[in-house]
Chain A
Amino acid sequence: MSLIDSIALPRNFRLPRADGLVQWIVPLGIIVVWQIACVTGFVPTRVLPAPSDVALAGWKLLLSGELVRNIWVSFWRASIGFLIGGSIGFAFGLANGLSQLSAKLTDTTLQMVRNVPHLALIPLVILWFGIDESAKLFLVALGVFFPIYLNTLHGIRTVDPQLIEMGRIYGMTDSELFRRVIFPGALPSIFVGIRFALGIMWLTLIVAETIAASSGLGYMAMQAREFMLIDVVVLSILIYALLGKLADSASRVLERATLSWHPAFQKR
């Protein structure tokens, strides 16, 4: 809830036309300052290559097809891992939110597992799966599971009981009650979970690909480090940032579309 409120507020102070552009002023400014700092020799290129060099490196990798292949591999791992972990988390959130028995049975266990940092499992996961695809998918899925599980559960538990009573009085069946009252009521909280999960998804993937992979953006960055190709390292970091932003924007679009009833999402 609080996350949703905090995004919506600043919009009130903006002109709708400039909306799409304003957010890019700061990143562009940083790039310009960075370029100037490099060209004037203020920052040695061994420490940080100029944006133009990074772009050039990107162009070369693009031509060789390496860049697209690595981005695709990472994107694929992120999405599949997210889908698997997200659906399991959502399913457990639903089950434990709706059924006392299910909650009693599994919630304590899940809360205990949650306290283990999932990245601490990397050595174990490598022993289990090697540096196979399944290792990365497993880690991403595990990381994504908890924010989605917790927020789905919280969303369902905090649906206004008066609305549920109203639904019952007006003769809604269990499935109707879920469809028309409980799920829409839990949706804002579920979206908070999704946004958190997207952050964790990238973080997990970067770490996993850097440590144990033979393809992907993280692997590309590690290879470049071995050959002292600092421009490629910086390029990988920037691409991670862009992909993260893309995932966040996608979830916002979805949020806007499904929560149009929410006062925070209505046009002024």
Chain B
Amino acid sequence: MQTALRTALPETELASLANFAPQTRVVREERPAQASGLPLSIRGLRKSFGDNEVLRGIDLHIPAGQFVAIVGKSGCGKSTLLRLIAGLEKIDAGSISFADEVKAEDIRVMFQEPRLLPWARVLANVEVGLGRDRASKDADARAEKALNEVGLADKRDQWPSVLSGGQKQRVALARALVSRPRVLAFDEPLGALDALTRISMQRLLERVWRDQGFTAILVTHDVAEAVALADRVLVIEDGRIAHDVTVNAARPRERGSAELASLEGSILRHLLSAEDRT
């Protein structure tokens, strides 16, 4: 749905000029960022640490550009799933496949900790995100553009130690965005922030996701955050996807609206009833 919305504009512009398909493609190629989301399919994914069977067969398809939130009680394997998707852990059984050939720069992860290099200035920290393009001539310009997107252009020459927690996390976001990833995975990126900063960061996440159209996978403890941001909320229980809830509310979403609140309530009930059973 998002993709349709995003491509609508250039197509209508084109229609007024000439009415054939090849040119539509040209326009899309000029703006690769706008159609960049990558679909992914997970089949029978299993992962254990020693005797501890963490994931016991995950089956999941995420369409390109979808915003998926993953919730579940602590220790249920959310981070493990994310790390498997990002290629940071080895798969025991099953598969994770992306539609296209993927480069390392196409998939980025953001953690709860900003993980900035304390000895590099903010701009240099963002440049780290360029991967193999770090040495290229336009590295500075690209990093600056990413900093602009998160609203921290004026901090480019600061040391990370002088930034606030929220600002550090925004720098980490810029670093993740600078390579124009096609899948962006978040592991509780806002977990350590205060309530107000959290809300402004949520808005920022939603905005960059809408602008850039990557596929977003957000692990969170906060069900309200999940329903406010995601197209779809997955509940993980006993190493499987126990519930797959679609959030149809229109964007921009109104925080605390009755629709979102009732959805949040029903997901919380799922989680709590699972808790009672164990």
Interface of A with B (CB < 8 Å)?
162-163, 165-167, 169-172, 180-181, 184-185, 187, 259-263, 266
Is residue B119 within 8 Å, beta carbon to beta carbon, of the partner chain? yes
Task: Please give the residue numbers on chain B whose beta carbons come within 8 Å of chain A beta carbons, in ascending order.
Answer: 86, 88, 104-105, 108-109, 111, 113, 115, 117-120, 128-129, 131-132, 159, 161-162, 175
Pair B129/A170 contact, Cβ less than 8 Å: yes
Q: Which residue of B lies closest to A180 (CB)?
A: B117
* Contact in complex: B115, A163 (CB < 8 Å): yes
Output the nearest chain A residue to B176 by Cβ-Cβ distance. Answer: A170
Chain B residue contacts of A171, Cβ below 8 A = 104-105, 131-132
Contact of B117 among A165, A181, A263, A266 (CB under 8 A): A181
**How far apart are A92's CB and chain B's nearest CB, in angstroms?**
24
Residue among A187, A261, A262, A266 having the largest count of chain B Cβ atoms under 10 Å: A261
A65-B117 Cα distance, complex, nearest whole Å: 52
> Which of A165, A169, A184, A261 neighbours the largest number of chain B CB atoms within 10 Å of its CB?
A169
A residues near B119, Cβ cutoff 8 Å: 184-185, 187, 259, 261-262
Q: Pick 19 A–B contacts, CB within 8 A, sort by A.
A: A162-B111, A163-B115, A163-B117, A165-B88, A165-B115, A166-B128, A167-B128, A169-B88, A170-B128, A170-B175, A171-B104, A171-B131, A172-B128, A180-B117, A181-B117, A187-B119, A261-B161, A262-B119, A266-B159
Number of A-B contacts (CB under 8 A): 46
- Docked complex Cα distance between A169 and B86 (Å): 9
User: Smallest distance from the beta carbon of B176 to chain A beta carbons, Å?
Assistant: 9
Chain A contacts of B108 at CB under 8 A?
Answer: 169
Instruction: State the main secondary structure of chain A at its contact with B.
Output: helix
Query: What is the CB-to-nearest-CB distance from A156 to chain B, in angstroms, rounded to a whole number?
Result: 15
Contact, CB under 8 Å: B120 / A180: yes
Min Cβ gap A260→B in Å is: 8
Interface centre among A166, A181, A260, A261 (most CB of B within 10 A): A166
Give the docked Cα–Cα distance between A203 and B119 (Å).
34
Please give the distance in Å from A1's CB to the nearest CB on chain B.
Answer: 13
Q: Give, as a whole number of angstroms, the nearest-CB distance from B207 to chain A.
A: 23
Interchain CB contact under 8 A, B88 and A262:
no
Quick check: A162 and B115 within 8 Å, CB to CB? Answer: yes
Q: Bound state CA distance, A184 and B125, in angstroms?
A: 14
Q: What residues on A are CB-neighbors of B120 within 8 Å?
A: 180, 261
List, in ascending order, chain A residues with CB within 8 A of B104's CB.
Answer: 171
**Residues of B contacting A162 in the complex (Cβ-Cβ under 8 angstroms):** 111, 113, 115
Query: Which residues on A sit within 8 Å (CB–CB) of B162?
Result: 266
Among B128, B132, B161, chain A packs the most CB atoms within 10 A around the CB of B128
A52 to B142 Cα, complex, angstroms: 66
Are B118 and A170 closer than 8 Å at their CB atoms?
Answer: no
**Please, which residues of chain B bring their CB within 8 A of the CB of A187?**
119
Contacts beyond the supplied A166-B111, A169-B109: 16 A-B pairs with Cβ under 8 Å: A162-B113, A165-B88, A170-B128, A170-B129, A171-B104, A171-B105, A180-B117, A181-B117, A184-B117, A185-B119, A259-B119, A261-B120, A261-B159, A262-B119, A262-B161, A266-B161
Cα A266 to Cα B119 in complex, Å, equals 12
Kindly list chain A residues whose C-beta atoms are within 8 Å of the C-beta of B159: 260-261, 266
Q: How far is the CB of B117 from chain A (nearest CB, A)?
A: 7
- With A and B bound together, what is the CA distance between A164 and B162 in angstroms? 22
**Docked pose: A250 CA to B129 CA in angstroms:** 36
Residue of chain B at shortest CB distance from A173? B132
CB distance from B122 to the nearest CB of A (A): 11
Residues A170 and B131 in contact in the complex (CB < 8 Å), given A261-B118, A263-B161: yes
Contacts of B86 in A (CB 8 A): 169
CB distance from A243 to the nearest CB of B (A): 31
In the complex, A180→B131 CA distance in Å? Answer: 13
Closest 6 CB pairs of A and B: A171-B131, A184-B119, A261-B119, A166-B115, A263-B161, A261-B159
Q: Which residues of A contact B132 (CB under 8 A)?
A: 171
What is the distance, in angstroms, from A172's C-beta to the closest C-beta of chain B? 8
Asked whether A262 lies within 8 Å of B118 as measured between CB atoms, the reply is: yes
